[in-house]
């Protein structure tokens, strides 16, 4: 049943979530489940802040880049202040640098968010000028360190890098990681969230084995990219990076970063040439296990992201429109993170079924760019209804919209403010 909260109250409630999760220049996704700064969360959160506090929005990206490594990598977690209640904390990663960070990255949404903030900043380009070299270094890290042979396909070495942690996309590559640790007793997430909404113990044992492998290589970027026992081209990161390359190229051209613009053009061309290798026989895109050379069997929500990257063909858009119709008929709310008709689908378990609002926003952006405006509007409506009916949950059961994971989640509030909420925030950003 739709709640009767007046619209302006819901906007205010979303702003209150962001303010509550603000730890002074950086925002925690949710104070209990995730008490530190997360990489792609911050990029989406910046879009939310941009609807009412542009200075604070810039700050979110700036603090994220304070965690950037010398080789350009932007870590997936910056442990800015000590906090209990999360595993694996800084000691599990064993990285000696300040601020403390994890050792892997996450989807590079930051340049796309920075371009949006720049567009809202009038004539003042001081903050974007300071950020462009850092963004460029992070893109170079993906295109060089994580594509050591220059194939145009970038590598992830850990499922958490994809941000779609326990997606069926990783079932096969992860099956080849032999668990060397048992960390079940160390987990803290199950103290905050229903176990049926979270990854399994077996998953944790395998992914923490990868952390141990990287530690044994002293986290040296080149060695990690070539030697870890999980090496996959994630369709999500590949697409999000190509889209962010385009946004960064626009910024570089406008601001006179000529050399950087040249390198970006080269990376974009190389990445675009490689995209057909990710297409399955049914015309839908998938992730590629770089160790076995096999495409993922599953078709997940990442399948739509080549639209967001603007690397898809018009015929791909048509195939995705049909796929969306079929999965919607099976699920209820869109976009389910994996196909509800697939045996691997699980309606409440994290990335094996639930709907995520920031994913919907990127998908809707892509659909609209290929002329599929009805479908784009549908995703916006579904996203708005999920919040209206249930609140700012981390993710939602696609069958009935029940909120899952953690409540009062920063990026869900940010997506409401900047996109899904149609009510007068005066600064609605319809597309990225």
Q: How many residues bind ligand DGY (CB under 6 A)?
A: 3
Contact flags string 115-154 toward ligand DGY, x per CB under 6 A: ----------------------------------------
The number of angstroms, rounded, from the C-alpha of 207 to the middle of its chain's C-alpha atoms is: 18
CB 87 within 8 A of CB 185: no
Distance in Å, CB of 231 to ligand DGY, minimum: 19
Task: State the residue number with the nearest CB to ligand DGY.
Answer: 160
Q: Enter the DSSP assignment of 84.
A: S
Distance in Å, CB of 211 to ligand DGY, minimum: 11
The number of angstroms, rounded, from the C-alpha of 100 to the middle of its chain's C-alpha atoms is: 21
Distance in Å, CB of 33 to ligand DGY, minimum: 8
Find the binding residues for ligand DGY in span 187-246 (CB under 6 A). none
Q: Which of 69, 160, 204, 308 binds ligand DGY (CB under 6 A)?
A: 160
Catalytic residue among 71, 165, 254, 272: 165
Catalytic residue among 22, 394, 397, 408: 394
Between 160 and 356, name the residue whose CB sits nearer to ligand DGY. Answer: 160
Between 62 and 165, name the residue whose CB sits nearer to ligand DGY. Answer: 165
Please name every residue paired with 295 in a beta bridge, in sequence order, or none if there are none.
288
3-state secondary structure at position 62: helix
Distance CA 278, CA 281 (A): 10
Q: Which residues, at least 6 apart from 141, have a Cβ–Cβ distance to it below 8 Å?
A: 71, 72, 73, 105, 221
Closest CA to 362 of 291, 425, 280, 420: 420
Determine phi and psi for 238, rounding to 5 degrees: -55, -45
Closest CA to 36 of 67, 68, 6: 67
Between 142 and 160, name the residue whose CB sits nearer to ligand DGY. Answer: 160
Distance in Å, CB of 76 to ligand DGY, minimum: 6
- Please return the burial class of 185, using the count of CB atoms within 10 Å of its CB with bins 0-12, 13-18 and 19+: exposed
Between 198 and 231, name the residue whose CB sits nearer to ligand DGY. Answer: 198
Between 165 and 272, name the residue whose CB sits nearer to ligand DGY. Answer: 165
Determine whether 165 is an active site residue: yes
Determine phi and psi for 127, rounding to 5 degrees: -75, -40
Q: Does 165 bind ligand DGY (CB under 6 A)?
A: yes
Distance in Å, CB of 128 to ligand DGY, minimum: 27
Find the binding residues for ligand DGY in span 19-78 (CB under 6 A). 76
Determine whether 374 is an active site residue: no
Between 10 and 76, name the residue whose CB sits nearer to ligand DGY. Answer: 76
3-state secondary structure at position 257: coil
Question: C-alpha dihedral over 33, 241, 48, 363, to 10 degrees?
Answer: -90
Write out the two tokens for 120.
Answer: 């809202």
Distance in Å, CB of 160 to ligand DGY, minimum: 4
List contacts with ligand DGY (CB under 6 A): 76, 160, 165
Residues labelled catalytic: 165, 394
């Amino acid at each position: 049943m739709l709640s009767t909260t007046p619209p302006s109250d819901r906007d205010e409630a979303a702003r209150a979530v962001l303010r509550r999760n603000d730890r002074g220049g950086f925002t925690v996704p949710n104070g209990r489940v995730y008490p530190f700064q997360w990489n792609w969360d911050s990029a989406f959160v910046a879009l939310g802040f941009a609807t009412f506090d542009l200075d604070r929005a810039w700050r979110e990206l700036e603090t994220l880049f304070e965690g950037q490594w010398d080789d350009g990598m932007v870590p997936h977690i910056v442990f800015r202040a000590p906090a209990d209640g999360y595993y694996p904390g800084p000691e599990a990663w064993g990285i000696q640098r300040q601020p403390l960070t994890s050792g892997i990255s996450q989807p590079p949404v930051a340049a796309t968010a920075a371009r949006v903030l720049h567009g809202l900043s009038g004539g003042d380009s001081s903050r974007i000028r300071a950020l462009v070299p850092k963004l460029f270094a992070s893109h170079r890290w993906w295109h060089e360190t994580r594509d050591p042979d220059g194939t145009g396909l970038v590598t992830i070495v850990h499922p958490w890098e994809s941000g779609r942690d326990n997606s069926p996309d990783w079932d096969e590559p992860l099956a080849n990681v032999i668990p060397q640790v048992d960390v079940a007793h160390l987990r803290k997430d199950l103290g905050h969230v229903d176990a049926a909404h979270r990854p399994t113990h077996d998953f944790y044992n395998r992914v923490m084995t990868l952390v141990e492998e990287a530690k044994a290589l002293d986290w040296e970027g080149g060695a990690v990219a070539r030697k870890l026992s999980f090496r996959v081209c994630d369709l999500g990161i590949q697409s999000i990076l190509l889209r962010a390359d385009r946004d960064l190229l626009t910024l570089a051209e406008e601001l006179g970063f000529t050399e950087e613009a040249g390198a970006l053009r080269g990376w974009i061309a190389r990445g675009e040439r490689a995209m057909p290798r990710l297409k399955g026989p049914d015309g839908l895109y998938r992730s590629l296990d770089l160790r076995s050379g096999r495409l993922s069997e599953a078709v997940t929500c990442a399948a739509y992201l080549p639209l967001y990257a603007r690397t898809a063909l018009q015929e791909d858009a048509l195939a995705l429109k049909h796929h969306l119709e079929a999965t919607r008929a099976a699920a209820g709310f869109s976009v389910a993170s994996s196909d509800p008709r697939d045996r691997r689908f699980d309606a409440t378990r994290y990335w094996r079924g639930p709907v995520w609002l920031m994913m919907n926003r990127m998908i809707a952006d892509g659909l609209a760019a290929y002329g599929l405006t009805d479908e784009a509007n549908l995703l916006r409506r579904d996203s708005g209804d999920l919040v209206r009916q249930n609140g700012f949950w981390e993710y939602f059961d696609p069958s009935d919209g029940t909120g899952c994971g953690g409540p009062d989640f920063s990026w869900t509030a940010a997506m409401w403010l900047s996109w899904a909420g149609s009510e007068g925030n005066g600064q609605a950003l319809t597309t990225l």
